[in-house]
Structure 1
């Protein structure tokens, strides 16, 4: 079955977009992306302080986004600092901020 795309987006691009959207589809994950985009690299403790979140829950979300290639982690001493690997995620946040889709 052939899929028709009105905007002529390739199947590959659609699948990548769906993968990214599934990965970030959680308020805490979107908050992490927003924080890292605006503040730069942060440790788990720093992110937890900014977002008021428990370290165990935060670590779970950070690890998931790192495994899926959206974040990168750099170890400095005993701390791990996270930053955006996919910097275009900021465009997704901008789109959501400007969206008036009955939200």
Structure 2
């Protein structure tokens, strides 16, 4: 592929997804929901040892970007991984040998 063949739409989509998940807490949420099919906010907070207000911020952000789905049951909100393909991205990055 030459530089004239680079799809701006494709690059914008990739950047959008990368920005959405580019935070350690958000990555942890994705990994947790990949292992556990559906979890409540408090379950996620307890598993990741994070305050509920901060967790809600990250969960809402991921939901608005279309990466997570949610449902409300009574007073509880449950989240699940809607875009399971994003886990492949995390696994791919784990294989990178960047200087850290």
TM-score by length of 1: 0.88
Alpha-carbon distance between aligned partners in 2 of 1:9 and 1:70, rounded to the nearest angstrom: 25
Alpha-carbon distance between aligned partners in 2 of 1:80 and 1:86, rounded to the nearest angstrom: 18
Aligned residue pairs: how many? 99
The aligned counterpart of 1:23 is 20
CA offset digits 1:13-46 (Å, max 9, x no partner): 1110000101111110010011001122111000
Deviation, structure 1 residue 9: 4.8
| Cα distance change, pair 9–35 in 1 and its aligned pair in 2 (3 A) | farther
Which consecutive residues of structure 1, in runs of 5 or more, have no partner in the other structure? none
Please say if 1:99 is aligned against 2:96: yes
Please say if 1:82 is aligned against 2:95: no
**Out of 29, 36, 49, which is 2:46 matched to?**
49
TM-score by length of 2: 0.90
Structure 1's consecutive aligned runs of 4 or more residues displaced over 4 angstroms after TM superposition are none
| Structure 1 vs Structure 2 CA RMSD | 1.6
